[in-house]
Amino acid sequence: MSSFAAGRHILPEPERAQNVVTAIGIDDQKAAFEPVRPIQPPAGAPHVVIVVMDDLGFGTSSSFGGPCRMPAAERLADGGLRYTRFHVTALCSPTRQALMTGRNHHAVGMGGTTEMATSAPGYNGFRPRSAATVAQILQGNGYSTAAFGKWHQTPPREISPVGPFERWPTGEGFDTFYGFMGAEMNHWYPLLYRGTTPVEPDRRPEDGYHLSEDLADHAIDWVRTQRTLTPDRPFFTYLALGASHAPLHVAPEWRRRYRGRFDHGWDRQRDITLARQKELGVVPDTAELAPWADGVPHWDELGENQRALAVRFMETFAGFTEHADAQVGRFVDALEELGVLDDTLFVYLLGDNGASGEGGIEGTVVEHRLGHGIVDDPDEMIFELDAIGDPTTYPIAPAGWALALNTPHQWTKQVASHLGGTRDGLIVHWPRGIAGRGELRHQFHHVIDVLPTILECAGIPAPTSVGGVHQQPVDGISMRYTFDAPDAPDRRRTQYFEMCGNRGIYHDGWMAVTRHGTPWEMVATPGRRFADDVWELYDLDADWTQSRDLANRHPDRLRALQELFLVEAAKNQVFPLDGRVTERENPTLACRVDLLGARRSVTYRGGMRRFTEETTPNVKNRSHSIVADIETAEPDADGVIIAQGGRFGGWSLYCTAGHACYVYNHFGLALYRIRTRDAIPAGRHEIRMDFLYDGGGFGKGGTVVLTVDGEKLADGRVEDTIPYYFSFDETLDVGVDLGTPVTDDYPEIDNGFTGIVHTVRIDLGDDEAGAGEDDGGLHRRVMTSQ
């Protein structure tokens, strides 16, 4: 479709004037009234589907020569187009914000993930109203719209029962939403939303539940309902699976499909993948493997336990990925059954960034440990080998596999300077609109180009005004020109890249880049200055993989590209650069707007639940108190009074057999328990926990004192605390511990308090307060390794 429908530049469509009333009674009304009809989409506008897989990398999917079987991706590619030089940002939220808005990610406030937001304009995490989403535009042009799965674009402080909801999916153009709001989710025990209402699945993993299947079920049900009720309207479905982002959760039978397939290791896998990629034509025959990343051991340098663990991590990743693609296949089958597949512009994005190196050299069974600088010992992890992927683990694979999954390019997720972090496979399938079948497209494109492509295919212009707000220019360039012209010259001539201080600039086939940080070193190294970063230069027309650095041979060209980066960066709000990762995930350290402001005390009522870390008092790295007003009818009360986090990090105040208990879970590595010596009698009581922080830095220990009705009944030590964040998926809950339990002292389900929780108050002390007084050995600390 080459021409846009008339009008549609102002959304929502202005209301039309009605015929005036000319009579008191309907029988005497001479001029007929015209029914109010919703705006109609342009004639022939296709249905639109966008599917986003997470953390894949260019060399992961079998459709691009990788080792992970993805039959749905292969089917769509064989019936459509593969884009071999398609680029994203190097992290989740920025890619999704750019995808939805068609603007560069810093230009719409998403310089990092939502959890890494600061107060700087390019990093604050707030999409401006001047950048309407593709969902808002399609919705305003008569489309039914629905989103399922991972969102990760709403500022964390707004993910609360009171919103505001303007930047939730249903506020950004989707009629329906079912999924999760943050960076990742436990696929066995997810905490989800239907619209803006918190929901939990009614099944558990022992019942056969898995999140990817649940999301596909909801997407299929919605499309079937939409075609039944409004078959005259096209639909837009956004399906963003949490796979293959950590945690790598999948049933053993999917993992077993890859038993022995990765025993040869990651070095050999790169060779195998590159050979397959050349056979498919997704890289040229002249392509070379890019250099191996510094600091990552080669396969033959690993010990026996390291290899055994690495193989199991990769088998789990591959099974997780194939299982997710199988759910996409079910969705494709549903579209075919409904007779709409050929009329659907289906965009399958095989990754929102490169494969993740955030698992470090060894990989880990609990992802957040490495984010805080804690490295698992392979000789201890080996005892959990058979558990990897099950509900007791929260795993992520070693960086060596990430490098192999990004074959043939350099580096990984986070590294926006190198193609391993930013180049992903893209499949576009639209039989009614694309003549080619199974063809390749080599034009240089970026995720911001998806929105204008959809609009051109639908015959809809980019609006100049949405909701009364003038729109900033769309940065993307439609890819429609490539659909039937495989040799068309590139229309995207320039594109900047930046993430966590890693930066690059592409212009007319050349790319200048500089890497500032290392993805698995997420706690910043003091003293690393941006001015000290070393720039590299690549001729991508002759060297697709960034394998030959030409900086010394072409200093003038490098200098010109560096200057161009400064221009593009300034234009898009990239400055000031910020190389921090984990530190920014603590809202206090990030200096972003705090929902609670200067409040030092918050009181919760019984039954309140599903509060994210950004909507609760930040108890980390400081003294604090928890004061609970509870009531019991029996002397042997059980259950949770208040809990934050879960099995892989957090704390809980609870009762067991009438005794008040406090437990601090340090990344699943240690449980520090304090328990009152006497049971609490029936009646109404005040249970108080005082945490007296040692001070002297982040993640230090502290003394815990438990009192009941003002009487000190127990105290003890917590030797290590979590400095930056407990979890991206667990919440604070009153009267229950949802998701995974902080401790096995109470069950995963049915752990609600057996009495009444009237209120729970959290009081914050000063940052880095001093240690509390000596308890004289009144109660012993109990530490249990897991």
Of 313, 291, 390, 392, nearest in space to 358 by CA: 313
- For residue 690, the surrounding DSSP H or E stretch is strand 683-693
Handedness of CA 516, 519, 524, 527 (dihedral sign): negative
At 271, which helix (H) or strand (E)? helix 265-280
Place of tokens 């994005």: 349
Rounded to two decimals, what is the model's pTM? Answer: 0.95
| pLDDT tens per residue, range 111-167 | 999 999 999 999 999 999 999 999 999 999 999 999 999 999 999 999 999 999 999
The CA–CA distances, whole Å, from 707 to 301, 686, 714, 771 equal 54, 8, 7, 18
Strands 235-240 and 197-199: unpaired
Average pLDDT over residues 228-257: 98
pLDDT, one tens digit per residue, over 193-220 is: 999 999 999 999 999 999 999 999 999 9
Is pLDDT at 776 greater than 90 in this prediction?
Answer: no
**Domains observed in the chain:** 47-482 (3.40.720.10), 510-585 (no CATH), 594-785 (2.60.120.200)
pLDDT band at 525; cut points 50, 70, 90: low
What does the pLDDT read at residue 19? 81
Residue 782 pLDDT > 50? no
Q: Note the pLDDT of residue 3.
A: 45
What's the pLDDT score for residue 778? 23
What mean pLDDT, rounded, does the chain reach? 94
Check residue 36 and give its pLDDT: 79
Contact 411, 513 (CB under 8 A): no
Cα distance between residue 558 and residue 271, in whole Å? 31
Q: What is the rounded distance in angstroms from the CA atom of residue 218 to the CA atom of residue 147? A: 10
Residue the block writes with tokens 């204008």: 452
- Give the residue-averaged pLDDT of 581-610: 89
Q: Is the pLDDT of residue 295 over 90?
A: yes
Which pLDDT belongs to residue 250? Answer: 98
Confidence category of residue 30, pLDDT binned at 50, 70, 90: confident
Residue entry with tokens 């208990």: 661
Of 97, 123, 99, residue with least CA distance to 499: 123
Q: Can you point out the beta strands (E) in 694-755? A: 702-708, 711-718, 732-734
Percent of the chain with pLDDT over 70: 96
Q: What is the pLDDT of residue 769?
A: 38
What is d(CA 263, CA 304) in angstroms, rounded to the nearest whole number?
12
Q: What is the pLDDT of residues 419-471, one digit of tens each?
A: 999 999 999 999 999 999 999 999 999 999 999 999 999 999 999 999 999 99
| Tokens describing residue 53 | 């897989």
**Average pLDDT of 255-267?**
98
How many other β-carbons are positioned within 10 Å of the β-carbon of residue 112?
29
Contact 743, 671 (CB under 8 A): yes
DSSP β-bridge partners for residue 191: none
Where residue 527 falls among pLDDT bands split at 50, 70, 90?
Answer: low
Q: What is the mean pLDDT of residues 62-89?
A: 98
* Beta bridge partner(s), residue 577: none
In which region does residue 533 sit, left (phi positive, over 0), alpha (psi from -120 to 50) or beta (all else)?
beta
Task: Tell me what pLDDT residue 771 has.
Answer: 34
pLDDT higher at 776 or 592: 592
Alpha-carbon span 384 to 313, nearest angstrom: 11
For residue 210, what is the DSSP state?
-
- The predicted-structure confidence for 645-692, as pLDDT tens digits, reads as follows 999 999 999 999 999 999 999 999 999 999 999 999 999 999 999 999
pLDDT at residue 7 tops 80: no
Residue 770 is predicted with a pLDDT of 36
> Rounded to whole angstroms, how far apart are CA atoms 468 and 10?
8
The torsion defined by the Cα of 777, 781, 782 and 783, in degrees rounded to 10, comes to -140
The partner residues of 711 in beta bridges, in order of sequence, read 708
* pLDDT at residue 14 in the model: 85
